[in-house]
A and B are shown apart, each in its own frame.
Chain A
């Protein structure tokens, strides 16, 4: 509590002070310095620009959302919007519809509130079109058809804030264009929740775009995670202008999909060869084939798969684009209409462990491959028992073609099977003992199938000496430890399991004591990671977990496809806790690192955006269940996005670890 001053102190000073306080009306000299003049002129210009759009800027309030908050920004935070015409249409950020709400209210500049209906959504650009019914005169915002997007140009974010819907502004510069796969402008204005849906303008009052909450790539599932961070995004006005009629007609807009899988595992590697074409996708319909090389997308030259992605990013479903390809040395042009959805992947497998051999082809070069300088051979190391490959394929076979598609790398073979048609026989061209043969077999579904047994040569290899060490990464506060073979041991193609420790689940070193024997005999390196905060896992730790996996992969000969993340709940008879939800979130948002995830079926589904499974970075989910009917509700959404759910039955540590290492099987 505050200790009160004694009254004697008060009375002794009060009179004198009062006199002095009242005597301070001496006029101050205005310091008319150059920097002051500049700042004041800028303030005036910013205000003038903002005032030219403010009559069209409204506040959007959400009333009665059904769930508690998730993420730092409250889910029912008031945001902004703009009136696009005099009819009552209001464009806002789709954050206002991210949870079902009893009502969405538009607060007009005069303070009046109006209930809004959702007309349509642009899922591709995170915008929503709302409509209010009113007789009031509404001031429409103007979207220019052409934009001056010189980087460094002054920008002003404009919104409304607080219970009085007062104007709020933040000044910055244009930091970038075509961000978020080609859809958004970037600015360094300090944009917080209140600004979302408001306009980003220039100093002349031209509307450059509408601000949206967004984070890039795997930076976490909460799109508001980057508020006030010097990085904010806006959908450019010229693009909005071309979408408004469609949105007004009540048609939702979605991102356009094409359905090709990349040959290179890393999209930033050189090369645009297509490893596989998705079934019933626009790519298949328009005649794109596995092995084609993409040269141009809509007139834009592309050299890497990331550039294809960037060039396609701006297009909506239903839009037609031109693609220039190279096939067998000839250039061909194809037009294709992008689709809203592609039937989900139903990954298949043969049941083989393969590796790549590089070098000159043998005495008799394959006639079809003569033009090709790329001489990587995909060779079978072992065939797993109880799989379609058993008795059809032998160790030592070279796998050359699957149907018409050339198997030019292990990754290509994997992608082809990931996107193969279920229960359909395939023709495999192989070379066995120097002669070419064809083998017919029907691959098996990855989903649902029970666990495979590891090949004999794995269990025959002497594991040698394994040691447990602590692991510290410079940028993370997580305690971690890993158990792995000593560097001198000569094992290959080990698995890696990143095991997330529950809050208050003990130190990583202690946790690994129970796992080290099983790890050694299964040939799976285990990295146990504890949460930074001893009470909970936080979404911001997702990236750190991916970094731990990458760090451990440098320390042992781990097959990059046999990498999984799991929580203690993956073992039958263990309860679901915080680590289970976290493992699921990590796997889905770091899908290029993790090829498997195993958690308890009772896991509480984390707040995450489930991305489509990607054939070139395919993730599978292991649950310790025996029957499909015990599957948790959240697994349905996961299956729909093309992730196979594998039933492990009564899963113990050994079964889990064998599954991890066998993630490299195709």
Chain B
């Protein structure tokens, strides 16, 4: 294989750099990364929906990781860095990671390895490689942007117009990476390793601001491996599914009578507590303000009701309430 030659070349280049200059010579790692990034064309093309996105190779056999989106509603066409064009097959997807894996009939493709451990922390410099705005076509290499990992945190995008089922850690990026067409692009650390996959355009539901984020490579590793190995196709994310009314909790059954819900976002103040109810057993009182349900922030009675709908009525409900200035954890046992 020609990997040995590449290694030798890299070593040679590395040793020739000695002094720090104002514009230090770039390594080949950015170009190497571009070679692993592909352009994907599929469904869409209607107003506001682009029919293209990015992806990157994860095996020498033409497996491509990309963001799971409407672009893949038809089997997409893939353009490699060298301009070669392939019909592709979708070999698997994982909605909870917003991940899909495609396969093209090519061999000996350059590819990214996926590491088991996170390769970047907050503050680390990264390079994002994607085909944002479809600016590169044919054999033009994908676009490169530089930036920093601003934060490594949980995505809280449950409510609002824009939603994602992904619940794990994300890399919040300090660059405008999540543009049309960038989804599925590669985020590379300063050692040239794959750090993550650019997500779709997304608004953070708690702050309302547009997020530039990537799903870390280590979070994708097992699933990509399973899909390639044929062990996995699809798993429906059940963690936050709304349950049928009869199977889920609701305020009344727990003994919570809330203050009248008259505003768009009425605060979750308890008006009265029904005698003998789970709420009464947990010593909840009128005027207690419910802050969290199972660790998730309750900003209004509407949110309270929808969060309770996701919890099986046989399960305990963990509440955090505010009583005057005290913050109290409370467990409601059905």
Q: Which residue numbers of A lie inside 8 Å of B, CB to CB? A: 1-5, 9-11, 13-18, 20-22, 24-26, 28-40, 42-44, 46-47, 50, 61, 63-69, 72-74, 76-78, 101-103, 105, 112-115, 117, 132-133, 161-164, 166-171, 190, 192-194, 227-228
Contacts and interface: CB of A to CB of B under 8 A. Distances in A.
Given A33-B26, A34-B17, A163 B123 contact: no
A61 B322 CA distance: 13
A76 B153 CA distance: 19
Contact of A169 (B14, B24, B148, B298): B148
Given A11-B230, A29-B14, A73 B21 contact: no
A110 to B, nearest CB: 13
Which one of B11, B151, B172 has the highest number of Cβ atoms from chain A below 10 Å of its Cβ? Answer: B151
A14 B230 contact: yes
B153 A74 contact: no
A254 to B, nearest CB: 28
Interface in B271-308: 289, 291-292, 295-300
A42 B147 CA distance: 12
A102 B304 CA distance: 15
25 contacts: A3-B75, A9-B89, A10-B230, A21-B59, A25-B113, A31-B13, A33-B17, A35-B27, A36-B190, A40-B125, A43-B190, A63-B298, A64-B266, A103-B291, A113-B291, A113-B320, A133-B325, A161-B150, A162-B154, A163-B297, A169-B148, A169-B150, A169-B174, A170-B150, A190-B174
Contacts, number: 244
B18 to A, nearest CB: 9
Interface stretch (B48-56, B77-85, B130-138, B206-214): B206-214
A163 B169 CA distance: 11
Interface stretch (B90-98, B179-187, B236-244, B310-318): B90-98
Contacts of A42: 125
Contacts of B265: 64-68, 76
B86 interface: no
Interface in B49-70: 58-61, 63, 68
Contact of B229 (A21, A76, A164): A21
A73 B208 contact: yes
B206 A35 contact: no
B207 A78 contact: yes
A20 B224 CA distance: 13
B233 A102 contact: no
Nearest to B152: A166
Interface residues of B, number: 87
Contact of A38 (B19, B20, B320): B20
Q: Give the 10 A-B residue pairs with the shortest CB-CB distance, closest first.
A: A64-B267, A34-B24, A14-B230, A162-B153, A168-B151, A166-B153, A102-B267, A74-B208, A77-B207, A39-B125
A340 to B, nearest CB: 30
Chain B CB count within 10 A is highest, among A67, A73, A132, A163, for A163
Contacts of B174: 169-171, 190
B154 A103 contact: no
A103 B21 CA distance: 54
B208 A72 contact: yes
A404 B171 CA distance: 68
Which of A1, A21, A67, A103 gathers the greatest number of chain B CB atoms within 10 Å? Answer: A21
A35 to B, nearest CB: 5
Contact of B20 (A1, A34, A103, A167): A34
A656 B28 CA distance: 70
Interface in B163-200: 172, 174, 190-193
Contacts of B324: 115
Contacts of A164: 153-154
B229 A162 contact: no
A459 B11 CA distance: 89
Contacts of B326: 115
A161 B324 CA distance: 26
Nearest to B116: A25
Nearest to A112: B327
Interface of B: 3, 7, 10-11, 13-14, 17, 19-21, 24-29, 58-61, 63, 68, 72-75, 89-93, 100, 103, 111, 113, 121-125, 148, 150-156, 172, 174, 190-193, 205-210, 225, 228-230, 233, 263-269, 289, 291-292, 295-300, 320, 322, 324-327
Contacts of B111: 24
B174 to A, nearest CB: 5
Given A2-B68, A14-B228, 17 more contacts: A2-B90, A3-B75, A11-B230, A13-B91, A17-B59, A17-B230, A18-B230, A28-B191, A31-B13, A38-B24, A42-B125, A101-B267, A103-B289, A105-B327, A112-B327, A117-B325, A161-B150
Nearest to A132: B325
Contact of A161 (B73, B172, B210, B299): B172
A66 B299 CA distance: 10
Nearest to B121: A47
B209 A33 contact: no
A399 B172 CA distance: 66
Given A5-B89, A102-B289, A31 B153 contact: no
A276 to B, nearest CB: 44
B266 to A, nearest CB: 7
A192 B151 contact: no
A101 B14 CA distance: 58
B20 A64 contact: no
B236 to A, nearest CB: 13
B122 A47 contact: yes
Given A31-B14, A193-B209, A5 B123 contact: no
Nearest to B324: A115
B122 A166 contact: yes
A61 B206 CA distance: 10
A168 B263 CA distance: 33
Given A36-B190, A69-B208, A161 B151 contact: yes
A40 B73 contact: no
